[in-house]
Amino acid sequence: MNWTDHHSEAEMYAQRAELAALEGRHELVRDLYRHAAEQETLALEQLDGTKSRTIGITAVSAASLWFKSGDMRQAERIACHSLSRDEIPPFATDQLQALLHSIWNERALQRSEVEFTKGEVLVRVAGGTVVHGGAPLDLVHLKVDQVRGLVYRTIEMLLNLPVRRRGAPSADIQEQFRPWLLQAPAGSYQFAVRVQRPAQIELFAKAGPNVEEITQRALDIVNASALESTDPLEGLVDAPDYIDVFLRLVRDLAPTGRSFKTLEMRSAIGLERSPVVLTQDSREVINSSLRSRKEVKQEPAAIDEHQICGVLRALHLDADWLEVARSKPPFDHVKIYKTGDVIDDIVGPLVNHAVLVDVATEDDGRLIFRDIQLDE
């Protein structure tokens, strides 16, 4: 058998493993991934040094498949051996180094006896004020907070819960599904996120095997939210209210182009897949989607719709208002009312940050809330 034969066999077993995962047949999943890894390793051995790109792709695939099978020793062996080869191209070097870091994280977590759902997401910010291995603390804190909000919203959606408008996730969800922040490989600043597996999984039986797919579903939602058409997002998210929430969460993750230039998210083990990349243009695409959805809802027009630039200084969502210190003349503090559509974990992380607030003016002169987004 040649490279093509072994690679095709590996793809076939990997596809069967993905189907078994959807059915919740976890033991079968590991066996199928092991067969896939064995075939991809044989495919890698068939390549000579003249096919650099194919060697890189196959090496990443083989190491990832061993990781998915649960055989960390073999995954590490393939990754280390491949990194020692002169033919490995730069893109594969980066991916194999990231995978090695995930392997070491996995071993450390196994020793801790804490169980996690499948998948680990790498979040990377680059450009602007971000340097190799470092970023401003307030930027990192904000992005971690926003990713946590995205994870919890994905969990609530998978559990078929109604959209939470106020307050934090329920105590049960916070206790059972705890997001963890893990060290990531050095690079333009990045961090890794995993979700702790519920100790009392029977409490969430109605979610079925979806509980194991939290991080991958969150990635899929981010990718679909940044597309020009909302059809793919609607295919992932049944409830219209959740669609609006996810669009706003992903918009806030995207850069404005000032503090940093790109935000990249990818699976730490699905390295053969392209990463999801958010840019300043992504914000414009998502804003267009939100405007289109607003028009479909046929919300009544108001007089003097405009935008306020400033710093979000205070909010009281139960009392239905928020306060912004304007960064342009007259540099005063203004209250904005009727914040009914704004959601805690979207607006909460924006306090003391520069924001853009879309407002309308009522007949009595009060400013009425329409939308809010980061302006940094």
pLDDT score recorded for residue 26? 75
Residue 368 to residue 353: CA distance in whole angstroms? 20
Q: In what order do the strands lie in the sheet with 179-182?
A: 179-182, 190-195, 121-126, 262-267, 276-278
Q: What's the Cα-to-Cα distance from 7 to each of 70, 98, 200, 268, rounded to whole Å?
A: 20, 23, 39, 21
What are 314's strand-pairing partners? 323
| Type of residue at 338 | K
Burial 125-148 (b: 16+ CB within 10 A, else e): bbebebeeeebbeebbebbbebbb
pLDDT score recorded for residue 204? 62
**Rg of the Cα atoms in the chain:** 23
What are 368's strand-pairing partners? 337, 360
**Which residues lie below 8 Å from residue 222, measured CB to CB, with a gap of 6+?**
150, 250, 253, 265, 276, 278
Q: What's the Cα-to-Cα distance from 31 to each of 45, 110, 368, rounded to whole Å?
A: 21, 20, 58
CA angle 146, 151, 153 (to 5 degrees): 95
Main-chain dihedrals φ then ψ at residue 42, nearest 5 degrees: -65, -40
Q: Which regions of the chain does DSSP assign to beta strands (E)?
A: 121-126, 179-182, 190-195, 262-267, 276-278, 303-316, 321-326, 333-337, 354-361, 367-374
Q: Identify the CA nearest to 129 among candidates 121, 117, 137.
A: 137
Residue 181 to residue 187: CA distance in whole angstroms? 16
pLDDT score recorded for residue 297? 58
pTM reported for the whole predicted model: 0.77
Q: What's the Cα-to-Cα distance from 288 to each of 9, 71, 85, 99, 257, rounded to whole Å?
A: 43, 45, 47, 36, 18
Q: Identify the CA nearest to 120 among candidates 55, 185, 58, 61.
A: 185
Residue 22 to residue 13: CA distance in whole angstroms? 15
Residue 114 to residue 103: CA distance in whole angstroms? 15
pLDDT score recorded for residue 364? 85
- Where are the chain's structural domains? 3-107, 121-296, 301-374
| Type of residue at 364 | D
pLDDT score recorded for residue 303? 66
Main-chain dihedrals φ then ψ at residue 326, nearest 5 degrees: -65, 140
Q: What's the Cα-to-Cα distance from 133 to each of 5, 96, 179, 233, rounded to whole Å?
A: 41, 18, 22, 33
pLDDT score recorded for residue 53? 92
Give the residue ranges of the chain where pLDDT is below 50: none
pLDDT score recorded for residue 50? 83
> Angle at which helices 137-158 and 214-225 pack, to 10 degrees?
110
Residue 137 to residue 143: CA distance in whole angstroms? 10
CATH number of 301-374: 2.40.50.140
Residue spans of alpha helices (H) in 226-278: 231-236, 240-253
pLDDT tens figures, 170-214: 998 998 899 988 877 666 788 889 898 887 666 665 555 566 778
Residue 332 to residue 265: CA distance in whole angstroms? 38
Domain 3-107 has CATH 1.10.10: no
What are 371's strand-pairing partners? 358
Cis peptide before 330 (omega within 30 of 0): yes
CA angle 348, 349, 350 (to 5 degrees): 90
